[in-house]
A and B are shown apart, each in its own frame.
Chain A
Amino acid sequence: MSLLDQRFSTGVSPAPSSGLIISGGGVLTIATDEIAELQARCRALELRLDELAWQLADLAARTSRLLAPGIAASAFTAAGRMARAAAAQLGRARGALQRAEQTYSEAEWDARRRASDEAARAAYGAGMLGALELAMLGPGCLLLVGAAALTARGPLELASGAAARWLAQHPEALSDPRFLVQVRLLSDSLDNAGRGAAATLGSQGWGTEDEARGREQFAAVVLAAASLGFGRASTAVEVTPIRTGSTSAPRTLETLASRIPGQQLPPAGAYAASGDPTRGQGDAEPSTAQVRVDRYDEQDGSPRYVVYLAGTADFSLQPGSEPFDMSSNLAGMAGLDSAALESARAAMADAGIGANDPVLLVGYSQGGLLAERLADSGEYATAGLVTFGSPGPGVDAQSVPVVALAHTDDLVPALGGVERLDASLDHVLVERSALDGMPVPEGRELPAHDLNAYRYTAQLADASGESRLTTTRTQVFDFLKDTSFGTSTEYHAVRTAER
């Protein structure tokens, strides 16, 4: 098994240094898991040296009782003093680690802020220039744009075909962190490009200084173009429960990742570790479910729910029967309702989730975006949110504990822009490079977006002792602490015609 396969497979013990980068949690520092681990190990050694100092002092006293003051007793006394001094020196070394963490954070925040400001200025200029050209070319250009929009299917197909060919030849491009930084900046600068164009045209139409809103407006424009070419995607769905069984309460992030529906299941027995008797046991086919709802009852009978939302299953722009498709992705990024969002709502309603029932939302990829939308909707009593590779911008709800896992070489979370890195109060962002400089495996366009890669990162996050991550992880799982077993229902959703 290659090193890459090991990283992407599950059941591999985390390496001593996991390469996790943790931010958020209400503190403006970015801790690498390595610094946190070094601090913890320094502290442990300090305690051992302190203990040794006490033991040597005791040894010196016992030796003095047995023998006249001499070489042995004074040597033990001196060694004890040295142990105490060494422990104090280690304390100073820990101080150096804290300074290193602070310096790293300041440099990182500064670099991100400067890059974001420069991208914003460039996008504003590009927007003005584009609008100026449009104005100079006049009505003829507008006619051309109109004609192109009316036949959007042709250009979209041409563009997507050319992009697919180029990506097949350069699979590494989409996993290059340098490229993905540009994607994040571009995503954040869409509002500035719109404002630049609006300023030139003397219009207040765009008029937003909010990066997330700018991204939503851009996604809405792309969705409108796709609708012109392929037809408007219906948001009506039919949701059917396809499997029920018993399950155990999740206690780790890795277990949450392993229960997301729609993934190829590992060999029989692999689920034993995650305590999920409803899955595995030789299942080789990917589940066709897109939503899974688990119910756990407290001793007084009050229910608690965990909702798992799958990623995109159909990457075509042509809306079909699959609600978890690209049109739902675009609608989600535009802040609009989608067939996928309606599927989640319908499954939650079928499972009997009421407005006041505590629910933990878990989503992968598009499922993460949906989970964020549901948490921000206020329709549910969201007790926690865990996302893996979500393209969403994060959530506004401050009181909800959030753990977001994102690979720095994954294109999908990069679409959420830079500000999703600025995880705020109670929201912890765990980042890691999935490939870590290794070549992109053949035939895998987005290997860093692989759910198995996220399962491995989840294992590392479970093992991490970083304080913010530990606190938020505990908050996420605390709402299930008095439960052990529950029932699990998987739902399959199909898009139907608008009623």
Chain B
Amino acid sequence: MQFDPPTVPASPDELLRVRSDAAGQARELDMVSAELLTLQPSAWRSPAARAFVESIANVAHSLAQMDSTLDEGIRALAAQP
């Protein structure tokens, strides 16, 4: 497991707060992603409506990539001694 070497001796409390904030932001991202998937037009059909659905799919894809990137950062933090 790779980890980032400390620049200054980090206080355990501060590191805990960073980890906790990162976890909170990951949860917020999950909630935004879940909410995004409910944005589906049902009552109308048109090329513009299809463009909207495609845009939402693109955003969902971006958020999935963001989720794995954020997860990578959180794992790197967790690996800190």
Contacts and interface: CB of A to CB of B under 8 A. Distances in A.
Interface of A: 17, 19, 32, 34-35, 38, 41-42, 45, 48-49, 52, 55-56, 59, 62-76, 78-79, 82-83, 85-86, 89-90, 92-93, 96-97, 99-100, 102-104
Interface in B25-81: 25, 28-29, 32, 35-36, 39, 41-44, 46-49, 51-52, 55-56, 58-59, 62-63, 65-66, 69-70, 72-74, 76-77, 80
B76 A90 contact: no
Interface of B: 2-8, 10, 14-15, 18, 21-22, 25, 28-29, 32, 35-36, 39, 41-44, 46-49, 51-52, 55-56, 58-59, 62-63, 65-66, 69-70, 72-74, 76-77, 80
B15 A45 contact: no
A63 B55 contact: no
B45 to A, nearest CB: 9
Nearest to A83: B66
Contacts of B77: 63, 72
A402 to B, nearest CB: 25
Contacts of B51: 96, 99-100
Contact of B7 (A66, A75, A76): A66
B15 A66 contact: yes
Contacts of A90: 55, 59
A73 B4 contact: yes
Nearest to B11: A66
Contact of B25 (A38, A59, A103): A59
23 contacts: A32-B44, A38-B41, A45-B32, A52-B25, A59-B21, A59-B25, A62-B14, A63-B18, A63-B73, A66-B14, A68-B5, A69-B4, A71-B2, A71-B3, A71-B72, A71-B76, A73-B4, A76-B70, A82-B65, A83-B66, A86-B63, A103-B46, A103-B47
A96 B59 contact: no
B22 A59 contact: yes
A137 B5 CA distance: 107
Given A75-B72, A79-B66, A89-B62, A52 B29 contact: yes
Contact of A93 (B14, B56, B65, B70): B56
A104 B41 contact: no
Contacts of A70: 2-5, 76
Contacts of B35: 41, 45
Contact of A52 (B2, B7, B28, B58): B28
Nearest to A86: B62
* Listed residue (A19, A34, A75, A104) with the most chain B CB atoms within 10 angstroms of its CB: A75
B73 A93 contact: no
A35 B49 CA distance: 10
Given A71-B3, A97-B52, 12 more contacts: A34-B41, A52-B29, A59-B25, A64-B7, A68-B4, A68-B5, A68-B6, A70-B5, A71-B72, A72-B4, A72-B73, A93-B56
Contacts, number: 142
A68 B4 CA distance: 6
Nearest to A91: B55
A21 to B, nearest CB: 9
Q: Give 3 nearest A-B pairs by CB, closest first.
A: A70-B4, A75-B73, A93-B55
B59 A86 contact: yes
Contacts of A41: 35, 39
B48 A99 contact: yes
Contacts of A42: 39
A14 B23 CA distance: 35
B39 A85 contact: no
Contact of B70 (A79, A92, A97): A79
Contacts of B58: 89
B40 to A, nearest CB: 9
A386 B49 CA distance: 33
B28 to A, nearest CB: 6
Contacts of A104: 44, 46
B32 A52 contact: yes
Contact of A59 (B18, B63, B69): B18
A68 B74 CA distance: 15
Contacts of B46: 100, 103-104
* Listed residue (B21, B35, B42) with the most chain A CB atoms within 10 angstroms of its CB: B21
B39 A79 contact: no
Contacts of A17: 42-43
A66 B6 contact: yes
Contacts of A89: 55, 58-59, 62
Contact of B55 (A75, A85, A92): A92
A34 B72 contact: no
B76 A97 contact: no
B32 A103 contact: no
A66 B8 contact: yes
Contacts of B72: 71, 75
A35 B43 CA distance: 9
A19 to B, nearest CB: 7
Contact of A76 (B15, B22, B65): B22
A34 B39 CA distance: 10
